[in-house]
Amino acid sequence: MKILILGLGYVGCTLAACLSRDDHVIIGVDVNRSKVDKINAGEPPISEPGMAELVAAAHKAGKLFADVAIGDHIKDCDLAVVCVGTPSAPDGSHNMGFIAEVTRQIAEAAAAQPSDKRLAVAYRSTVRPGTMDELVTPIFRQEMGDAASRIDIVYNPEFLREASAIYDYDHPPKIVVGTLTGEASPVIDKLYEKIEAPRFNVKFRDAEFIKFVDNSWHAVKVTFANEVGRLCALQGVSATAVHEIFTSDTKLNISKYYLRPGGAFGGSCLPKDVRALQYIAADVGAHTHLIDSLVRSNEAHKHFQYEQVTVGLEPGASVLLVGLAFKAHTDDLRESPNIDIARKLLRDGYKLSIYDPAIEPAALVGQNLGYMYSQLPMLQSLLVDKATAEASRYDLIVSVNDTVKSLSVGTARHLDLSRIA
């Protein structure tokens, strides 16, 4: 198939790389010229294991290119996939401006196509229930009139984890397809025909809501584990032993991954979607006290971890922070709890150095770049390479993930924040 992908962030770039690998012809569209230029040079605009190889191969094979505008690229396309951002608005709701604008652009381009030309438009961006019915469909009708009946709208949420996005695309926990009637979409069925996973064909609102439920549950698990971990630490109880016993019950306690006491949650999904679910709950008059407490408890955990870092640390001491991104082996800084630690160390006068081999400030783009500038604008001056990190003397080495395993840190004092002992 010939597929148009709108938005070349983590979701869009992963989709473009995997679909072009699977012999589809992909046109990526993003307003960010830097992302487009990278794709057209055979380079991914994000740092993700395996992504560089897929993008380079697709570019060489002539199956992947990008542009800053839709133009007439929609011609002969079987499918358009919307992967634009839905960042948090000041009140916690999702900002739907990008969704509305890209929908208008698709409608405008589709209206110029022959009257017998059908187009499936799938949305992968996380949106609140009612978005397909109350925002997307009306825009198509407004821009296309009766011709809007040629557009098959689909909501198809993604379930990708950063640092394992390609694997997750190929081995998803489930495939959810939302349509107006709840019936299957032939185009989406064809798209995923080689992927084995439980499939759910549901109505729009059911499909739109599942991502909120999933991400809020993940946030609940992380928060619960960290609250237990803090209680253990303050009472002389081994959180490691408690965690081992608790997670041995895989029948009832479900998953070890999110239930290990360690770092705060962060990244581009959980904080944003928890805030949005809080907004939705308030908007419909629900009383979700646990969900309302998640972000506050997560902030308390960040403070608890900072207190762990500074216990016994002399004023002006030198600290090496190993790992800054939300996850090891990626360069995603958005809402990374490790940035909070870095800012507080600088605020309180400590001499901070940062080692994270996946981060190159000059390569950051879009919201990732904006977050760096707003939260840690002096990042370039703080970064050190492997040789410098190993050769320098530090009063404390703080690691937040397994990146520290690539360093030879000798006998320096080391604090691992990825787990509560």
Active-site residue set: 269
- Give the CA-trace dihedral at 27, 31, 33, 36, to 10 degrees: -20
Sign of CA dihedral 126, 132, 134, 136: positive
Q: Show the CA angle centred on residue 238, arms to residues 232 and 243, nearest 5°.
A: 90
CB of 338 closer than 8 Å to CB of 325: yes
Closest CA to 326 of 281, 287, 371: 371
The 3-state DSSP class for residue 65 equals strand
- Give φ, ψ of 179 to 5 degrees: -135, 170
Look up residue 151 and give its two tokens: 């557009």
The candidate with the shortest Cα–Cα distance to 59, out of 45, 77, 39, is 39
Count other Cβ atoms within 10 Å, centred on residue 68. Answer: 13
Sheet holding 414-416, edge to edge: 351-355, 318-322, 396-399, 414-416
DSSP lists the bridge partners of residue 396 as 319
Beta-carbon count within 10 A of 221 CB: 19
**Cα separations (Å) of 258 from 144, 280, 373, 398, 400?**
45, 24, 30, 21, 15
Say if residue 315 is exposed, middle or buried (CB neighbours under 10 Å; 0-12, 13-18, 19+): exposed
Beta bridge partners of 29: 6, 67
